[in-house]
Amino acid sequence: MERESIEYDVVIVGGGPSGLASACKLKQLNPNLSVCLLEKGSEIGSHILSGAVFEPKTLFDLFPEDAKDCPSLKTPVAKDDLFWLTGENKSIKVPSWLMPKSLHNKGNYIISLGELCQWISEKAMELGVDIFPGFPAQNYLKDESGRVIGISTGDMGIDKEGNQKGTFTPGMDILAKQTIFAEGARGHLGKQLIREFNLDEGKTPQHFAIGFKEIWEVENDNHSPGDVVHTMGWPLNEGTTGGGFLYHFDNKKVAVGLIVDLNYTNPSHSPFQEFQQFKRHPKIKEFLESGKRVSYGARAITKGGINSLVKMDFNGGMIVGCDAGTLNPSKIKGSHCALQSGILAAEYIHKILNEEICDFDDLFKGSSLYQELYKSRNFSAAMHKFGFYLGAAYNFIESNIFRNALPFTIKDEQKDCDSLNLNNPLYAKEYPAPDNVLSFDITSSLFLSGTNHEEDQPVHLKLTDPSIPLTRNKELFDEPAQRYCPAGVYEIIDKEGEEYFQINAQNCLHCKTCDIKDPSQNINWTPPEGGGGPNYIGM
Amino acid sequence: MSALILIELNGSDVSANTRAAITAALNLSDSLDALVLTNDASNASSVSALAGINTVKMIVDDALEHANVEVASRLIADVMNDYSFLVAGSSTFSKNILPRVGALLDVQPISDVCEIKSKNTFVRPLYAGNVMATVETSDETIVMTVRATAFEHSGDGGSASVETISASMPSANSEFISLQESVSERPELTTAERIVSGGRGLGSKENFALIEQLADKLDAAIGASRAAVDAGFISNDYQVGQTGKVVAPKLYLAVGISGAIQHLAGMKDSQVIVVINNDPDAPMSRMADLVWQVDLFDALNELNAYQV
Amino acid sequence: MKIIIPVKRVLDPYTQARVNKQTQQVDLTNAKMAMNPFCEIAVEEALTLKESGSASETIAVSIGTDKTVDTLRTALAMGVDRAIFIKTDSELDLQPLHVAKILANIIKREEAELVIMGKQAVDNDNNQTGQMLSGLIDYSLGTFISKFDLSDDASSVEIGREIDSGIETRKLNLPAIVTVDLRLNEPRYASLPNIMKARSKPLETIELSSLGIDTSPRIKILSVEESGTKDRASKQVSSAEELFTELNQMGVL
Ligand SMILES: Cc1cc2nc3c(=O)[nH]c(=O)nc-3n(C[C@H](O)[C@H](O)[C@H](O)COP(=O)(O)OP(=O)(O)OC[C@H]3O[C@@H](n4cnc5c(N)ncnc54)[C@H](O)[C@@H]3O)c2cc1C
Ligand SMILES: Cc1cc2nc3c(=O)[nH]c(=O)nc-3n(C[C@H](O)[C@H](O)[C@H](O)COP(=O)(O)OP(=O)(O)OC[C@H]3O[C@@H](n4cnc5c(N)ncnc54)[C@H](O)[C@@H]3O)c2cc1C
Ligand code: SF4
C-alpha cells in the first residue's frame, strides 16, 4: 500500500481553541481557502481538559452573531472566593479587596472547554473546514529549502515489535502552503519546531504545571451554580507552588482541580496524591461529600507567560496557543488567549497568502493579547523565584497596587526538569491511603478518564536511553516518573527477582508531564495510533 | 396465563439455565408446561422429572437432532397460541431461536432478565451490565430469556405428563454439518460454577500452571486479568473484565489480582469471592468474602497439596 | 450478489455508561459515539467478499437522527459502495422488532440476497435483530458466526457458529442473514484518504415516516440504575484447610 498525499491551502494541527479559531477565522476571511484540521483525539474535545472559567470576549469577536447562542455560555460566574488553606483543616478567607485583580471573574463563565470546542468545530464545519479527528500529525514535512510544507499522519496497524499487522494502513502526507501548529501545552511537533527554528532564542525557559481535574455529581444543598472557589496553600508547601479550584456548574456538577507547578523540588512528591489529599480539606470536602466522582483527567499547562512565549511564525507556518505559550499565568487562563492567538495567526496567514507584506511581530504587538500578557509578565517568575509567600505578596502588590506597571521584568532561568533535589529519605513524602470517598487510587481514577489505546502497537513513550530509569534516575531521584505521571504509566516492578522499568503506555492521558519533568530529558512523548488516549466528556 | 418453558438439553440432561428459567417462570404463572424439540423420544424422562412442570410437550422428529432455527422457531410459534409466556434460559441456544419466534408472533422479546418485578415488568442489564434497566412490556405474549446467574436452579421431583405433538416439519433452508466441541476438559468460563483466576502476581507462564492445577482440583474454569494476558501467561479468551468476559460463578478465586475496576466489572456479581494476595490494601480484598493474605506461591502449593 | 450491512451508532464501548438521574436514561449528551464493534466486523466481512469478486455491491444501512450519518460515513470510508440513511426525527426508542421491520423493507426494496450484521449492539445488548429480521423475511439464519465460506456458485455458505458447547458448522442456502461474532475477522481502519473520498460516495436519505412502519414502543424503560461494585464484609483465612472448610460451609465446592 502506498502513502497517498493531498494538498490544502492551510493545514492545522490540533482541535483546541487555538487551532479551531484559526480555522474559522481563515474561512471567514477567505471562504475559498481550503483548510483542513487534524485532531489526535477520537473526537473534537475528547483530549481537552481545562478548568474552566472562561473570558468570553474573544468568542464574540470571532462569532459576533452566533456566540450568544453558544450553549457553553450558560453558567455565568456568580461569586468569587479565594481561600488560603493554612493547614489540613485550617483556612483563611482572603477578603475580596485583597484578592489579586487577575483572580476576579465578573463577566466570565464556567464552561467545559471540551464542549466549547465541539461547538466551535460545528461552526468550522459549517464554514467549510475539513476536520479529521482520530488522526495525529506525526511529523512535519520540509522541502529542500528547509521550509515547512505540511505534515504526515502516522501509520496504523503496526504491532508491538514494529511489524505490520493485517490491518496495516499507511499514513498520508498533507501538504499545505501554510501549516499551523496548535497542539496545546508541550506539543511534540512544537517542541521540535522550537528547537529546529530556534523559536525560543532570547526567551527564558518555558515553565509548566500539571493540572488535575475531576467532575463530581453532587447532591449537596451547598451547590450553587456559578460559584467559583480558588485556593492557595495546603496541601502544597514550600518548594511546591500551585493552587486549587472548585467550580459549580449547572446540573449539580462540580469541577474540582489542583494545579501543581512542575518546578517542584522534592523527588518523592506526587502531584496526584497531593490532589487526592486536597479534596479532603474541609473547604473542599463540604461541596463533594455525598457526591459521586464521574470523571478524572490531567493535562500540562504552559505558564511561562510572555517571557517564555516563543516566536510564533517561521518559514512555512505558525505555532499558536499553549503550543507557543500564550497562556496568561497571572490568571491561569489560556483559552481566550489561545483563541486570540489563533485569530492573529489566521489574519497573518491570510495576508501573506495574498502576498501582502506583513510582519507578524507588529501584528502581535498591536494586539490586546500582547497587552494582556505583557502586564502579567512577572507573575510566575516571581512565584518561582521568591517562593510561595513572598511571590504571592509580590504579585498582590504588583497587580493591585502598581496595576502591573512596574518597569522591570523578573526572569526564572531554571528549567522544570532541572529543579529536583537529590532523593533524600529524610524528606520522603508519605501519603495516606485513599479513603475511597474523597480520595482514590490511580486505577479507579483512570477508569473515569476513559483512556484507551490499542494494545498491540509500539510503545509511544520513547526512551532515548532505556537504561536511564533504572540507573541515573533511580539512583539520584528514585525514578520520579513513578510519581509525577498522573496515569501510573511508569512502574519499577520485580520481574522474577530483577528490577524492570515497565511502561504501561495504554494508560497514558497525553498530559505530557513526563516529557517535561524527566530529570534526564530521556522520555519523548510521541503520538500513539490515531484515536488513542483519554475520552474526556465535558472536561 | 400459562407459561411455556423451552427446554435446552445437554445430551439427555436438562441444562442449568433451563432450570433457572423454570424458577423465573414460577413468578409469572403457576401453570408451567415444557416444550422439547428432539429426535429422541426417550429424552422425555429427564424433563418430566423436573419440579414444577405440568405437561411436557414433545415434538419428536429426526430433523430435530440439530434443530435448525428456521424449523424450530416455526414449531415453537405454532405452539404459542395456548400460552402467555415463553421462557428460556439465556444461552446461545435460546438466543438463536427466541428472537425469531418473537418476530413470527409480532412480539418484542426481552433478553437476559435478571429480576421479575411483576408479570410485565422486568430488570435486565444494558451496557455490559454497567446499567440495569427496569422495563415494562405491552406485548400480549411475553417472550424472554433469563440469566442463569440470577435465578435459583430448580430441581427434580416432578412427574409431568408427556404429550407428543405431531407436527409437520417446515421446510429447511439450512443444514447441520458438524459440531466441534471445545477441547478443554474444564468447564466453560462463562457458565462455570467455579473459576480460579490468575493475575500478574503469578509472574510467568510456567507459574500459571499452578492455577490450572488448582482449577482441575476444584473442577473450575480458568480466568485471568488483562495484565496476565498481556504478559502472555495465557491466551486472551480467558480474560475476565470490562474488555473480557463477564462471569458470575458461585466461587471466584482471584490469585495475584489487584482488583482494578476494569477487572471487577467482569466478576463483581460472583456469589463468593476469595482473594489470595500478599498486599492487604489490594482493592480486590474489599470485594472479597474470604481473604488469604499470603505469598501466592505458598498458598497455591498448600492448596494443591491439600487432600479434600 | 448484493450485500446489505446494517450498522448501528452506539456509545463507544470504551466509555463508561452514565445514568442521568433526572431523565432516567443513559446520558448520551456529548458522549463519545462509535460504530458498534460487531457491525465493524460485519462491514469487514462484506468488504472481503466484494474484494474477492463474490459480491456485486455492498450497502450499509443505519437508522437514527442526523448524527447517524457519521456512522454511515465510517462504513463508506471503510469501503462499502453506498449507504442508506433512515432518518428519524428524534431519538426514537426503536426496538429490535422495529429495526427488523425497517430493515426488512429495505432488503426487499434492494433485493439483497445476503445480510451481514453484528450479533448484538453493545448498548442494549439485545442480541435479537438479525434473528428477528430472518423471521420476518424468511431468510435462512446463521448466528454468532466466526467462519464464513461462500460456495463457488454463491448459492450457499458454510458458516462456523460459536456456541456454548463449541463450534457448530452449518450450511445456509441463500438468501441468508448472518450475525457475526468477534473472532470472525479484524476490521480494517478507515484510512484518512478513504475518509476524504467517502465524502463523495452516494448516501441516500429516507424519512422513516415515509415507510409506514408502526414504531410505537413495545417495551418501555421505566428506570435505569448504574450497577456499581459493593464492598463485602471480608473474613481472613490463613491456611488451605481453613479456606476449604469455609468454602464447604458456604456450599460452593
Ligand atoms: C487543569 C486546567 C485548568 C485550566 N483552567 C483554565 C481556566 O479556568 N480558564 C482558562 O481560560 N484556561 C484554563 N486552562 C488553560 C487552557 O485550557 C489552555 O490554555 C487552552 O486549552 C489552550 O488551548 P490550545 O488550543 O492552545 O491547546 P489545547 O486546548 O491543549 O488543544 C490542543 C489540541 O491539539 C490536539 N493535538 C495535540 N497534538 C496533536 C497532534 N500532533 N496531532 C493532532 N492533534 C494534536 C490535542 O489533542 C488537543 O485537542 C486550564 C488548563 C488546565 C490543564
Ligand atoms: C480501558 C481499559 C480496559 C481494561 N480492561 C480490563 C479487563 O477487561 N480485565 C482486566 O483484568 N483488566 C483490564 N484492564 C487493566 C486493569 O486496569 C489492570 O491493569 C489489570 O486488571 C491489572 O491486573 P492484575 O491485577 O493482574 O495486575 P496488578 O495490578 O499488577 O496486580 C498484581 C497483584 O498481585 C499481587 N501479588 C504480586 N506478587 C504476589 C505474591 N507473590 N503473592 C501474593 N500476591 C502477589 C500484588 O499485590 C497485586 O495486588 C483494563 C484497563 C484499561 C485502561
Ligand atoms: S505517560 Fe507522560 S504523558 Fe502519559 S499520562 Fe504519564 S506523564 Fe502524562
* Per-residue pLDDT tens digits for B177-210: 999 876 677 887 877 899 999 999 999 999 999 9
Backbone angles phi, psi at C133, to 5 degrees: -60, -45
What are the domain boundaries of chain C? 2-250
Q: What is the pLDDT of residue A103?
A: 72
Pick from C143, C231, C237: CB nearest B290:
C237
Output the residue whose Cα is nearest ligand 1's atom 27.
A184
The closest of A446, A505, A499 to A474, measured between CA atoms, is A499
B283, A447: Cβ pair inside 8 Å?
no
Residues B25 and B141 in one domain: yes
Q: What is the pLDDT of residue C229?
A: 63
Output the residue whose Cα is nearest ligand 2's atom 35.
B256
Q: How many CB pairs under 8 A join B and C?
A: 243
Residue of C nearest to A1 (CA): C191
Of B258, B285, B287, the residue with max ligand 2 atoms within 8 A of its CB, to mutate for a pocket test, comes to B258
Architecture, CATH, for domain C2-250:
3-Layer(aba) Sandwich (3.40)
* Per-residue pLDDT tens digits for B226-257: 889 878 898 767 888 765 677 889 999 999 99
First to last CA, chain B: 48
Q: Which long-range contacts (CB under 8 A, 24 or more apart) does A361-365 make?
A: A364/A312
Whole-angstrom distance, CA of residue A489 vs CA of residue A469: 13
**Which of B130, B164, B198 finishes a domain?**
B164
Query: Buried b / exposed e across A305-343, counting CB within 10 Å, b at 16+?
Result: bbbbbbbbbbebbbbbbbbbbbbbbbbbbbbbbbbbbbb
Q: Is C67 on the interface with A (CB under 8 A)?
A: no
- Name the domain count of chain B: 2
Beta bridge partners of A428: none
Chains near C with 3+ CB pairs less than 8 A apart are A, B
Mutate to test the interface with C, among B68, B90, B94, B100 (most CBs of C within 10 A): B100
Cα–Cα distances (Å) from A239 to A264, A307, A330, B192, C247, in that order, read: 6, 22, 19, 56, 53
Which SS3 state, helix, strand or coil, does residue A471 take? coil
The H helix count followed by the E strand count for chain C is 6, 15
CB atoms within 10 A of CB A9: 16
Q: Tell me B262's DSSP state.
A: H
B283, A433: Cβ pair inside 8 Å?
no
Which SS3 state, helix, strand or coil, does residue C92 take? coil
The closest of A182, A301, A288, A215 to A538, measured between CA atoms, is A215
Chains near A with 3+ CB pairs less than 8 A apart are B, C
Q: Tell me A44's DSSP state.
A: T
| Chain C residues 29-88 with a CB less than 8 Å from chain B | none
Atom of ligand 3 nearest to the CA of A509: 5
Chains near B with 3+ CB pairs less than 8 A apart are A, C
Whole-angstrom distance, CA of residue C160 vs CA of residue C153: 19
Query: Buried b / exposed e across A400-431, counting CB within 10 Å, b at 16+?
Result: eeeebebeeebbbeebbbebbeebeeeeeeeb
Looking at the CA of B283, name the nearest ligand: 2
Residues B266 and B130 in one domain: no
Q: Nearest-CA distance from C55 to chain A in Å? A: 21
* Per-residue pLDDT tens digits for B63-102: 999 879 999 999 999 999 999 999 999 888 999 999 999 9
Of A452, A490, A500, the residue with max ligand 2 atoms within 8 A of its CB, to mutate for a pocket test, comes to A452
Residues B229 and B275 in one domain: yes
Q: Would you give per-residue pLDDT tens digits along chain A (539 residues)? A: 678 999 999 999 999 999 999 999 999 999 999 999 999 999 999 999 999 999 999 999 999 999 999 999 999 999 999 999 999 999 999 887 777 777 788 899 999 999 999 999 999 999 999 999 999 999 999 999 999 999 999 999 999 999 999 889 999 999 999 999 999 999 999 999 999 999 999 999 999 999 999 999 998 777 889 999 999 999 998 678 899 999 999 888 999 999 999 999 999 999 999 999 999 999 999 999 889 999 999 999 999 999 999 999 999 999 999 999 999 998 889 999 999 999 999 999 999 999 999 999 999 999 999 999 998 887 766 666 555 555 666 566 666 555 555 556 667 789 999 999 999 988 889 999 999 899 999 988 988 998 989 878 999 999 999 999 999 999 999 999 999 999 999 999 877 788 999 999 989 999 999 999 999 999 999 999 988 999 999 99
Q: Tell me B123's DSSP state.
A: E
| Chain C residues 200-229 with a CB less than 8 Å from chain A | none
Whole-angstrom distance, CA of residue B299 vs CA of residue B210: 10
CB atoms within 10 A of CB B119: 14
Q: Tell me A340's DSSP state.
A: H
CB atoms within 10 A of CB A276: 24
Residues with CB under 6 A from ligand 1: A 13-19, 38-41, 47-54, 113, 136-137, 182-185, 187-189, 211, 213, 257, 259, 299, 301, 321-323, 327, 332-336, 338, 527
Residue B171 lies in a domain: no
B131, C226: Cβ pair inside 8 Å?
yes
Of B222, B239, B257, B294, the residue with max ligand 2 atoms within 8 A of its CB, to mutate for a pocket test, comes to B257
Atom of ligand 3 nearest to the CA of A487: 5
Q: What is the pLDDT of residue A486?
A: 98
Mutate to test the interface with A, among B200, B235, B236, B261 (most CBs of A within 10 A): B261
A6, C187: Cβ pair inside 8 Å?
no
Whole-angstrom distance, CA of residue C36 vs CA of residue C30: 17
Q: Nearest-CA distance from B180 to chain C in Å? A: 5
**Which of B164, B198, B232 finishes a domain?**
B164
Whole-angstrom distance, CA of residue A384 vs CA of residue B292: 49
Q: Are C4 and C106 in contact (CB under 8 A)?
A: yes
Residues B25 and B120 in one domain: yes
Q: How many whole angstroms from B234 Cα to the centroid of ligand 2?
A: 14
B261, A495: Cβ pair inside 8 Å?
no
Cα–Cα distances (Å) from A140 to A11, A136, A149, B38, in that order, read: 11, 11, 8, 67
Q: Tell me B284's DSSP state.
A: H
Q: Nearest-CA distance from B207 to chain A in Å? A: 11
Architecture, CATH, for domain A4-67+114-203+310-375:
3-Layer(bba) Sandwich (3.50)
Whole-angstrom distance, CA of residue C235 vs CA of residue A90: 38
Output the residue whose Cα is nearest ligand 1's atom 45.
A14
> CATH number for the domain including B292?
3.40.50.1220
> CATH number for the domain including B144?
3.40.50.620
* Per-residue pLDDT tens digits for C8-18: 999 987 777 88
Residue B169 lies in a domain: no
* Per-residue pLDDT tens digits for C136-149: 999 999 999 989 99
Q: Is C249 on the interface with B (CB under 8 A)?
A: no
Q: What is the pLDDT of residue B182?
A: 60
Residues B193 and B301 in one domain: yes
Q: Tell me C80's DSSP state.
A: -
Residues B221 and B282 in one domain: yes
Q: Are C62 and C9 in contact (CB under 8 A)?
A: yes
Whole-angstrom distance, CA of residue C214 vs CA of residue C100: 12
Mutate to test the interface with C, among A117, A252, A537 (most CBs of C within 10 A): A537
B275, C234: Cβ pair inside 8 Å?
yes
Residues B155 and B208 in one domain: no
H or E element: which one contains C51? Answer: helix C37-51
Show residues of chain A in contact with B204, CB under 8 Å: 496
Q: What is the pLDDT of residue A30?
A: 98
Residues B112 and B46 in one domain: yes
Residue B11 lies in a domain: yes
Atom of ligand 3 nearest to the CA of A513: 7
Residues B99 and B222 in one domain: no
The structure's pTM equals: 0.84
Output the residue whose Cα is nearest ligand 2's atom 17.
B260
Domain of B46 in residue numbering reads as 3-164
